[in-house]
């Protein structure tokens, strides 16, 4: 790695940025060709960063769905000696137990991204429901729920997750429930804040005077007007959950072996960095790339929702 030199690294980074911009432009051009109407006009005005982000997200989803077809070896199969170098038989070498790293990277997309998505959906469902309920009912219900959420948010989330996982175990179901409950408090604050700005408007009062019930009020009046910030928060919350699960796996309390997970793969093969092998950095790079891609798309959606124009 040292022999590569600073100039080599600068050229590599410049090449990656140029390639990403070209890929984003081509992907946007393809989407514009196959879409129609308002969606086509929206995609035509999408920045290259958002186009690249959407392309990366689609690639990750494709890899996650078709992992068994794409991986050359099984997720848990021992196929060679420990820490074999990159070769035609093993594209990224083997890990500390002799398992194919490329195959585990591919299966890691399914496990890490899938569990993070399920956790985010559960956190969002719980947090949004409670936040909207607190904003609509108000009074002591709102105050009581908000103070409970304040208590949960006062505890650092990673430390709280480590404590709960140590107590209740480290199964996948427990991991999803623990992270979802912790992150639901953050979603609650956003949903409550957005809904409080909507429930005081005249059209909400008119709906109440018409006799509309709470369910109808939420789904027909409040949610349509709160979707933009909530969708943006969903993207950001997925990033936070994704990073939290990877961090817990790196610490040994997340997704447990032999299940492939990018966070635990960094920990298990970190010793290779001592010998100048960048293989342990690849799972970390996969985590970083998806996080950046989602933020690109979220930034674009926030810009669109704000109504700003160039």
For residue 294, what are the domain limits?
110-306
CA nearest neighbour of 96 among 77, 107, 82: 82
Q: What is the pLDDT of residues 139-190, one digit of tens each?
A: 888 899 999 999 989 988 888 999 999 899 888 999 999 999 999 999 999 9
In a domain, 250, yes or no: yes
Q: What is the pLDDT of residues 96-126, one digit of tens each?
A: 889 999 999 999 998 888 899 999 999 999 9
Q: What is the pLDDT of residues 221-273, one digit of tens each?
A: 888 888 888 888 888 889 889 888 888 888 888 888 888 889 888 888 888 88
In a domain, 60, yes or no: no
pLDDT over 80 (residue 33):
yes
3 state DSSP class of 259: coil
In a domain, 276, yes or no: yes
- Contact at 8 Å (CB) between 263 and 291? no
Domain count within the chain: 1
Confidence bin at 4 (pLDDT 50/70/90): low
Predicted pLDDT of residue 34: 86
| CA Rg value for the chain | 23
In a domain, 72, yes or no: no
In a domain, 83, yes or no: no
- Contact at 8 Å (CB) between 196 and 178? no
Put simply, whether the predicted model's pTM sits higher than 0.95 gets the answer: no
Residue 184 CA neighbour count, 13 Å, CB half: 23
Q: Which residue has the tokens 């848990």?
A: 76
CA triplet 151, 247, 192: central angle to 5 degrees? Answer: 35
**Nearest 10 degrees: CA dihedral of 250, 253, 254, 255?**
100
In a domain, 31, yes or no: no
Report the CATH number at residue 219: 1.10.3720.10
């Amino acid at each position: 790695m040292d022999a590569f030199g600073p100039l080599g690294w600068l050229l590599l980074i410049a090449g990656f940025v140029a390639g990403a911009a070209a890929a984003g432009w081509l992907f946007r051009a393809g989407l514009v060709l196959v879409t129609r109407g308002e969606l086509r006009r929206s995609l035509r005005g999408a920045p290259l960063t958002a186009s690249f982000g959407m392309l990366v997200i689609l690639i990750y989803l494709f890899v996650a769905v078709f992992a068994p077809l794409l991986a050359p070896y099984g997720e848990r199969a021992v196929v060679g000696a420990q820490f074999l170098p990159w070769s035609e038989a093993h594209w990224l070498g083997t890990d500390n137990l002799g398992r194919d790293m490329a195959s585990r990277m591919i299966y890691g997309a399914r496990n890490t991204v899938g569990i993070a998505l399920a956790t985010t959906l559960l956190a969002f469902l719980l947090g949004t429901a409670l936040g909207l309920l607190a904003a609509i009912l108000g009074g002591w219900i709102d105050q009581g729920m908000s103070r409970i959420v304040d208590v949960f948010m006062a505890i650092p989330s990673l430390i709280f997750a480590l404590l709960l996982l140590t107590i209740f175990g480290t199964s996948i179901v427990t991991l999803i429930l623990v992270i979802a409950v912790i992150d639901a408090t953050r979603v609650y604050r956003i949903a409550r804040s957005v809904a409080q700005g909507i429930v005081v408007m005249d059209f909400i009062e008119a709906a109440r005077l018409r006799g509309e019930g709470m369910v109808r009020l939420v789904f027909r009046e409040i949610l349509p007007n709160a979707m933009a910030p909530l969708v943006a928060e969903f993207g950001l919350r997925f990033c936070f959950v994704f990073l939290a699960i990877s961090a817990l796996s790196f610490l040994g309390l997340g997704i447990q072996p032999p299940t492939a997970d990018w966070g635990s793969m960094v920990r298990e093969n970190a010793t290779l960095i001592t010998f100048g092998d960048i293989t342990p950095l690849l799972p970390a790079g996969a985590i970083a790339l998806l996080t950046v891609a989602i933020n690109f798309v979220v930034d674009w959606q926030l810009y669109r929702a704000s109504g700003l124009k160039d």
